[in-house]
Amino acid sequence: MLNLFFKRRTIRRFSSKPVPEEVVQRIVEAGQRAPTACNLQTYSVIWVRDDKLKNKVLDACKISGAIREAPIIFVICADVYRLSQVLDYLGHNHCFRHGHGYLIKFMSIMDACFVAENMTMAAECLGLGSVYIGSAFANDELIETLKLPENVIPLTLLCVGYPNEQPPTRPRWPLSSILHIDSYKKPTEKEMKAFLEHMNYTLEKEGYYQKYANRESTYHYSDHIRHKTIADQQEKMDLEILSVLKKMRFLPS
């Protein structure tokens, strides 16, 4: 199992080999065995099987290229709707009825993330590869496409299939930078410089951004993190996400 963790890498190109239904169900069952806060089980997994619906889901998340060929598409959701329905059935005057319960809602995001990770590693155990699609998060078009009720928020797509590529594992911060003993240790300039040089060199050697993002050979990890954090763009995205979270009653209006 440890070997699977250390060798795991994101797969973006999948073979046309179909994934048996019993394998798909086994992956989801493995997800269900993940930790869940207070055993409230505040998550849902939507397996998008219909081809027309799959294209709509991928379009909503603005996915292009080889990832669209993934045979299995899961939408992992934080879900307190089902819990609220059970509480209604019990006749309980619960917090969700009044638009509250934000601690449970935030914990449901953790629940769903644990499920997604279990599913990812179950797929690895079964010889499959996977990729997460973050543009699904609080995606209003995706919510409309899947007709999600209030208190259900899509967090990510998990695309799964048999790999049609064998990329290397990708570089990470050194353990000494992310493992803090007893108190938080701020990164030094020397550590940051060494990290950026390592990321830039290793990903350039693979041709990562040219292979997956059609970028010039001069585009590096340093450019990538700048691009992902442009202030004006992120402010616009933040406002859109907050609007969706309020509409779905995950945040107070």
Domains of the chain, earliest start first: 2-167 (3.40.109.10), 170-253 (no CATH)
The answer to whether 123 and 27 have CB atoms below 8 angstroms apart is: yes
- pTM of the predicted model as reported, rounded to 2 decimal places: 0.95
Residue numbers of the chain with a pLDDT score lower than 70: none
pLDDT tens digits, one per residue of 26-80: 999 999 999 999 999 999 999 999 999 999 999 999 999 999 999 999 999 999 9
Q: Which residue(s) pair with 46 in the sheet?
A: 75
Residue 253 is predicted with a pLDDT of 84
Listed residue (35, 230, 46, 245) closest to 151, CA to CA:
245
Residue 157 is predicted with a pLDDT of 98
Residue 156 is predicted with a pLDDT of 98
In single-letter form, the type of residue at position 91 comes to G
